């Protein structure tokens, strides 16, 4: 076999592999996409060496695990300490044709505590129901304060990116304030219960 034929065969194999990978990706759908906010060089909020990105990822992985145990097809925008742009996070959810998109975060402010959940300023009914289901479940699991479901953006007009650029019902969960000792203690103590609560609320919202 001459060199030209070897190169041609190698090229053909590479094309076949690329097609196979593309086929897998194109069929990669999910009922739910869980987004661990921040990541990589974007640490999010910080308090005494504690980074929001780490709490978000730990919780997201647990929620995904709980959903898989209940036979829910779930996708993650990140499963490690990687930086993922907001645009890419939404593209992942949209590409997977998810029914629900839940972004997990920790909050930060002086002298504040509790959990709040944000939806689009358009206040879609399904988005509000998703947020209310999650907040109610978290409240039962044990949080310092129920701050309610809110719409728009906390720091001005408009919406959080994930709520305005996703094609499905979505919400952004602010699970306690990272600079609140009380909220951090509850987060560490109840993280498994929080994950279970969020997963159960998501399943209810799918029905």
Q: What are the extents of the domains in the chain? A: 1-29, 31-206
What does the mean pLDDT of the chain come to?
91
Q: What per-residue confidence (pLDDT) applies to 11?
A: 54
Better-scored residue on pLDDT, 204 or 16: 204
Mean pLDDT for the stretch of residues 1-22? 49
- List, for residues 101-113, the tens digit of each pLDDT value: 999 999 999 999 9
Residue 8 has pLDDT above 60, yes or no: no
Q: HEC states along the chain?
A: CCHHHHHHHHHHHHHHHHHHHHHHHHCCCCCEEEEECCECCECCCEECCEEHHHHHHHHHHHHHHHHHHCCCCEEECCCCCCCCCHHHHHHHHHHCCCCEEEEEEEECCCCCCCEEEEECCCCCHHHHHHHHHHHHHHHHHHCCCEEEEEECECCECCCCHHHHCCCCEEEEEEEEECCCHHHHHHHHHHHHHHHHHHHHHHHHHHC
Provide the pLDDT for residue 84: 98
CATH fold, domain 31-206, is Aminopeptidase (3.40.630)
Task: Note the pLDDT of residue 26.
Answer: 44
* pLDDT value of position 159: 98
Q: How high is the pLDDT of residue 207?
A: 80
């Amino acid at each position: 076999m001459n060199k030209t034929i070897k190169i041609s065969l190698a090229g053909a194999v590479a094309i076949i592999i690329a097609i196979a990978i593309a086929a897998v990706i194109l069929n990669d759908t999910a009922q739910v996409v869980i987004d661990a906010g921040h990541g990589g060089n974007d640490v999010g909020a910080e308090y005494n060496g504690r980074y929001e990105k780490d709490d978000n990822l730990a919780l997201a992985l647990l929620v995904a695990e709980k959903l898989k145990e209940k036979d829910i097809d779930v996708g993650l925008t990140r499963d490690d300490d990687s930086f993922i742009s907001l645009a890419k996070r939404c593209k992942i959810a949209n590409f997977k044709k998810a029914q629900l998109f839940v972004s997990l975060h920790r909050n930060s402010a002086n002298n504040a505590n509790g959990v709040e959940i944000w939806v689009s300023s358009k206040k879609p009914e399904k988005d509000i129901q998703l947020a209310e289901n999650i907040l109610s479940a978290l409240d039962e699991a044990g949080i310092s304060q129920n701050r309610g479901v809110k719409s728009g953006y906390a720091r001005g007009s408009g919406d959080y990116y994930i709520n305005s650029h996703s094609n499905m019902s979505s919400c952004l969960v602010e699970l306690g304030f990272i600079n609140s000792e009380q909220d951090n203690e509850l987060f560490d103590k109840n993280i498994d219960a929080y994950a279970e609560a969020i997963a159960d609320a998501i399943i209810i919202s799918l029905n």
